[in-house]
Amino acid sequence: MSELSVVSGKSSENLAKELSKTIKANFVKSEIRVFPDGESKITLIGKLSKKKSIVVQSIYPPVDTNLVQALSLITKAKENSSEVIAVIPYMGYARQDREFLPGEIVTMNVLGKLFKSAGASKIIIVDIHSLIGLKYFTIKTKNVTAIPDLVEYFKKLSLKNPLVVSPDQGGKERAKEFAKEFNSDYIALEKTRDKKTGKVKIKTKNLAEVENRDLILVDDMISTGGSIIKATQFLKKQKCKRIYVACTHALLMNDAENKIKKAGVTSIISTNTIPGKTSKVDISKTIAKAIM
């Protein structure tokens, strides 16, 4: 039996399969039965390594269900393996990394305790929304980026004088890193977001440098697509050519994909941290490097 096992959660089955092939590990599948009251019953199919198990489970919607399943898989793996690495490609709750308004619970602090109690000795995350959240974990953590993988995909496209764009100042470093790998220029728009309503406004004025160019809007995650839609509407007024979206995590809630396309985006390209129609970039090799 292999000294490595990859334990697949239902939310990341395809990614886990690719990872197990890459690192030549024994693949352990999970079967889920959901009771009428919403409880999950998990059964593992396959043998766990006594040495090291790698649990792969993204925590996307339904977030709480996928979180409990991740913790359950880690607990079961720890019963059999001396070491358990938790690969959480998309870490839900990462936006709740501080008390923005009085009385708010810092949920990342809760998660830090839960993953340690479940038995994980190390956590690997892909492009976490905020690195601040990792300070609540007392076990080893590693955040890896999918930017090089996304760039490789975009290099294969025939783009006209491409320009990398961040939809806000918070993503400026991400756009800079993407542009450096892609060998192009980049800019970052200025936006404001109401903390209570979540409403987004673009503050940037006219941008002559986007005219007649293909643009790549780069973000770490797309939830409802509000920021991307506002940015696209603004950039279209600046007479740009095609607009592509590159993101690691495509949640695409509330029909976001159609709304984004309707705003004028040619294509959305995301990774398989969250499976879906847009997840065209595999990041199993990047995760494998972080494990080995």
CB 248 within 8 A of CB 273: yes
- The structure tokens 């192009």 sit at 184
Query: What CA–CA distance (Å, rounded) separates 114 from 108?
Result: 10
Choosing from 191, 241, 261, 280, which is the catalytic residue?
Answer: 191
DSSP state of 24: T
Residue 5 half-sphere exposure, CB side, CA atoms within 13 Å?
28
3-state DSSP helix/strand/coil percent for the chain, to nearest 5? 35, 25, 40
Of 121, 11, 126, the residue nearest 65 (C-alpha): 11
- Give, in degrees to the nearest 5, the angle at Cα 282 between 277 and 52: 125
How do 267-271 and 200-202 pair as beta strands?
unpaired
- Give, in degrees to the nearest 5, the angle at Cα 269 between 187 and 134: 75
CB 215 within 8 A of CB 160: no
Query: What CA–CA distance (Å, rounded) separates 213 from 87?
Result: 38
- Give, in degrees to the nearest 5, the angle at Cα 142 between 139 and 148: 170
- Which amino acid, 61? P
- Give, in degrees to the nearest 5, the angle at Cα 22 between 276 and 10: 40
Known active-site residue 191: yes
Query: What CA–CA distance (Å, rounded) separates 165 from 247?
Result: 12
Residue positions annotated with a catalytic role: 191
